[in-house]
Chain A
Amino acid sequence: QKEVEQDPGPLSVPEGAIVSLNCTYSNSAFQYFMWYRQYSRKGPELLMYTYSSGNKEDGRFTAQVDKSSKYISLFIRDSQPSDSATYLCAMSFLTGTASKLTFGTGTRLQVTL
């Protein structure tokens, strides 16, 4: 069993839709949670990160962490064609090596006009 599970998609939505992307994890020691966006032939770009359970909002993006269920989500409001990319969840242990990340496989998102 993988430590982090993420549906690879592809997920296709119309412009303006609310998108929900999710990951589950098995190791309760993960404390630091991130979402990265990756465009084709580019490196992952950090969108959001959080240490705690609950919601964190940044513009059209909301990250949600539920440690009791080992479940994290990223919501995108008013989705745009420019949001079309692969979205990767990542997590790490909250130690001095917090940046040793464990990734999900990524969900490919297509926002259509």
Chain B
Amino acid sequence: EAGVTQFPSHSVIEKGQTVTLRCDPISGHDNLYWYRRVMGKEIKFLLHFVKESKQDESGMPNNRFLAERTGGTYSTLKVQPAELEDSGVYFCASSQAGDSPLHFGNGTRLTVT
């Protein structure tokens, strides 16, 4: 079984540019989550999809972040325009049911200069 796949693994962009991160969950997993770890801090929840619907987006930092999951398969997280404080590692995770353990991808390391 393929795991959670994230692309790109690393992205370096300038302040003010746009970046789109992609996540492919484990096949059949309806639940998809985005988490973020900024330098020196703990991993923090951003949002949760159930199929194509946003179940909880309470962790999204501001309206520069837009997450989508069209068709309930892969998801994208767009940051527009990027700011320096957006630098960090963005993790995607998926699970089969809402109470089952999460499986994480290897993350996208975003550097905003």
Contact = CB atoms under 8 A, between A and B. Distances in A.
Interface of A: 2, 4, 32, 34, 36, 41-46, 49, 88, 90, 94, 96-106
B31 A2 contact: no
Interface of B: 4, 31, 33, 35, 41-45, 48, 55-56, 91, 93, 95, 98-107
Contact of B42 (A94, A97, A100, A105): A105
28 contacts: A36-B104, A42-B106, A43-B91, A43-B93, A44-B43, A44-B91, A45-B104, A88-B43, A94-B99, A97-B48, A97-B98, A98-B98, A99-B33, A99-B48, A99-B93, A99-B100, A99-B101, A99-B102, A100-B33, A100-B48, A101-B43, A101-B45, A102-B45, A103-B42, A103-B44, A105-B41, A105-B42, A106-B42
Contacts of A90: 43
Contacts, number: 60
Given A4-B42, A103-B44, A43 B107 contact: yes
B102 A101 contact: yes
